């Protein structure tokens, strides 16, 4: 198929573009390189050195013979997006191109407004561009499990059957997002559901959990193809921060009591989930929701796993509990359904000590690149 990967220079988008390209799809990347600019703004970096997008795509072509086209531009610029759609005519549009950090969206008013405008308007433009230039195109939109929040009932996959005053209906699952970023994802979901209803678009909303891991078979082919490793308090996940903190001899900084529980999946499963969704498109007019994760862990679970693996490698590790900079429940019920992707063929790769050791060894190998000021939280919700 002809597949656009928007945000294809980023942590999830880059390995996805390689994976789909290797499997014979004609892949084009759209990216405005904003993720690299945010590193400059935050005085941060990827722990792993990252080549330019031009260097990455050229090396991929040299190694595999597969060509990945790329377009540098912004989804908020509709003329640009429309011209790309007119030229490429995609069968599928994989949409990773959003500001993805909850802390970044909570820095101040400007960052909150930027996040919502960038994400919501960009996604609106994608929907309009598909309608205008490629009406049969299947939009695969990266959502987040964070749309649901932490309700005291099981989380279903997008929809829930409700009985009220003797009548029943199947309705969108209630949303309780925890940041302006997560709110932007909720707005995306509502807008896309509406577009499916009025225009007959095909959309799959992938409510993805927290992604861990660095490598796929494709990114391991050459150092120029290496993926990002974010570890700072704004873009780094808790697991990445703990691994880097262990590598440099810093306490593992658990926010509050550490009972915050979320869904997780390996980056190798992320790219496989995209492939499965590309191969099994939504029907015309269907707004389909998959919960894209494979396991559930609390923050304290992760800290204890990292402590065990690092100590096996001879590192002394201490777990410290910080005052929580976020406004969130620190102990709560969390059980979410995730059956639809597995029913279509996903075979989960679980978070084993071997997987953690691989990431930890990467952190140790590049620990001279750590910006020490960035391993503690700097953004507060209050």
Residues taking part in catalysis? 144, 181, 185
- 112 Cα distance to chain centroid: 18
Q: How far is CA 196 from CA 125, 148, 191, 253, 314, in A?
A: 14, 21, 9, 43, 54
3-class secondary structure, 210 = strand
Q: How far is CA 150 from CA 146, 210, 306, 370, 376, in A?
A: 8, 15, 25, 33, 25
DSSP annotation of 23 reads T
Strands (E), the chain: 2-6, 26-31, 68-72, 92-95, 138-144, 159-164, 167-172, 202-208, 210-212, 252-255, 261-266, 287-292, 295-298, 319-322
Looking from the CA of 279 toward its CB, the CA atoms found within 13 Å total: 13
Q: How far is CA 25 from CA 18, 209, 316, 343, in A?
A: 10, 26, 46, 23
Task: Return the structure tokens found at 62.
Answer: 């040299």
Helix (H) or strand (E) holding 276, with range, is helix 267-279
Contacts with 52 (C-beta within 8 Å, 6 or more apart), sequence order: none
Pairing of the two strands 68-72 and 167-172: unpaired
Helix axes 299-312, 353-365, angle to 10 degrees: 70
- CA torsion 107-112-115-121 (nearest 10°) is -170
């Amino acid at each position: 198929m002809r597949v656009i990967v928007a945000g294809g220079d980023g942590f999830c988008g880059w390995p996805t573009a390689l994976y789909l390209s290797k499997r014979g799809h004609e892949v084009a990347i759209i990216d405005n390189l904003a993720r690299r600019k945010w590193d400059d703004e935050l005085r941060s970096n990827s722990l792993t050195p990252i080549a330019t997008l031009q260097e990455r795509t050229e090396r991929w072509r040299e190694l595999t013979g597969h060509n990945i086209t790329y377009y540098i531009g912004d989804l908020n610029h509709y003329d640009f997006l429309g011209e790309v759609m007119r030229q490429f005519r995609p069968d599928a549009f994989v949409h990773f191109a959003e500001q993805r950090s909850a802390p970044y969206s909570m820095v101040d008013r400007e960052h909150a407004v930027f996040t919502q405008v960038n994400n919501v308007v960009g996604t609106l433009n994608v929907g309009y561009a598909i309608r205008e230039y490629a009406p049969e195109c299947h939009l695969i939109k990266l959502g987040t499990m964070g749309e649901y929040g932490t309700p005291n009932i099981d989380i279903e996959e997008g929809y829930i059957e409700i009985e009220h005053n003797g009548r029943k209906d199947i309705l969108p699952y209630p949303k309780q997002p925890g940041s302006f970023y997560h709110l932007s994802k909720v707005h995306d979901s509502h807008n896309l559901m509406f577009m499916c209803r009025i225009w007959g678009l095909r959309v799959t909303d992938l409510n993805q959990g927290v992604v861990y891991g660095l490598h796929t078979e494709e990114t391991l082919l050459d150092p120029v193809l290496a993926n990002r490793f974010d570890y700072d308090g704004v873009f780094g996940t808790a697991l990445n921060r703990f691994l880097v903190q262990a590598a440099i001899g810093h306490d593992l900084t658990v926010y509050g009591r550490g009972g915050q529980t979320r869904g997780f999946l390996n980056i190798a499963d992320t790219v496989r989930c995209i492939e499965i969704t590309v191969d099994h498109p939504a029907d015309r007019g269907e707004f389909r929701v998959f919960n894209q994760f494979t396991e559930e862990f609390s923050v304290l679970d992760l800290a204890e796993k990292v402590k065990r693996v690092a100590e096996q490698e001879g590192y002394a590790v201490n777990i410290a509990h910080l005052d929580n900079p976020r406004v969130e429940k620190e102990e709560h019920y969390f059980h979410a359904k995730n059956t639809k992707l597995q029913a279509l063929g996903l075979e989960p790769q679980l978070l084993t000590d071997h997987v953690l050791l691989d990431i930890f060894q990467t952190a140790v190998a590049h620990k001279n690149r750590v910006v020490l000021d960035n391993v503690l939280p700097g953004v507060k919700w209050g």
